[in-house]
Structure 1
Amino acid sequence: MSDDEKDYEVGYGKPPKHTRFKKGQSGNPKGRPKGARGLSASLKRELESKITVREGNREVRITKAEAMAKRLAASALKGDSKALLAFLKLDADLFGDSEAHDTEAGLSGRPEPVDYDILRDFFSSPQAGQEDVEDQEDDDDGT
């Protein structure tokens, strides 16, 4: 044995020399099997599969992704703040902050002064917003 082999200390992160990978030899000689798929492919395949849902009186076959989007939008409209934040984040991730998306949705890039006035009036009196909703509900009943 040479002096280098005697001085070499085997331990954590220092395997014995005879068990190390040889130069030019792969640690995974067979490689990934052809049929194996990654998580993203499995997730995509699952979201693209169709399910039957009831919309009103009829049954419709839609993808699971569409069903999830509908459920998220419905929860956000019902007032679920977590669903609303998730929906807005998803919208920003998918469409970005592009002006093309804003103009397509009928939104301008910057709020108008009128928008600030409306918000200030709405938040200045918490009961004012509730009275408006109650008045609208009474109008819908025809009374």
Structure 2
Amino acid sequence: MTDDPKAYTVGFRRPPEHSRFKPGQSGNPAGRKNRRKMREAEIVAMVRDEPIEIMLKGKKVKVSMFEATLRRTYQCVLTKGSVRELEKLLELCAKFGALPADFQAEEARRGAESVMQKIRTIFDRTVPDDDEDVVLV
């Protein structure tokens, strides 16, 4: 080996000079990819679906967080008669399409009445009242 810097030997841990990183240059210029940030809906879904253990009929059972919350809300409504809890429960049931049949029937009746009212309004605007103006072809 000589002290001459031009007499550089290529070998183990001694790459050729032309392929070395230049000063200030990284070996991975793009860097590690950033972790994708979770949206609020994804976080809520993840927590909602997380399994937890509860006591059900004297046995430990794994259920989703959502089911445990729903069971607890039912329990509060039935034992305490809490109006606030009842409102939450009915809101959850309506949101997920699990309303009792009588609530669904009343809601359907109200929806049908509003649709019929809209149809009457459109009909009244488009069809003339007096038959004399209408010419049949």
TM-score for the superposition, normalised by structure 1 = 0.44
Q: Radius of gyration: which is bigger?
A: 2
